[in-house]
Amino acid sequence: MAAKTYTVTGMTCSHCVNSVTEEVGRIPGVTGVQVDLTSGAVTVTSAQPVDDTAVAAAVDEAGYERAR
């Protein structure tokens, strides 16, 4: 089991959280996504480590940006 936390900017409401959760959850191998709206922390759990580029692309698809 692998877990990694990213910071996502631009989220302001529960709809934002749902969008990010849905898009990141579509990445193959992802088993869970936890989003903290207040801090922008997005914790991704998976069976194997997930490619950071895939997470950034999913966050972008949801309409937000992964902080560097």
Per-residue pLDDT tens for 10-64? 999 999 999 999 999 999 999 999 999 999 999 999 999 999 999 999 999 999 9
Burial class (CB in 10 A: 0-12, 13-18, 19+), 61: middle
Structural domain tally of the chain?
1
Q: What is the per-residue pLDDT for 52?
A: 96
Q: Residue holding tokens 């972008």? A: 60
For residue 55, the enclosing domain spans 2-66
CA distance 47 to 12: 30
pTM of the model: 0.93
CA distance 60 to 1: 25
CATH (domain of 26): 3.30.70.100
Q: What is the per-residue pLDDT for 68?
A: 75
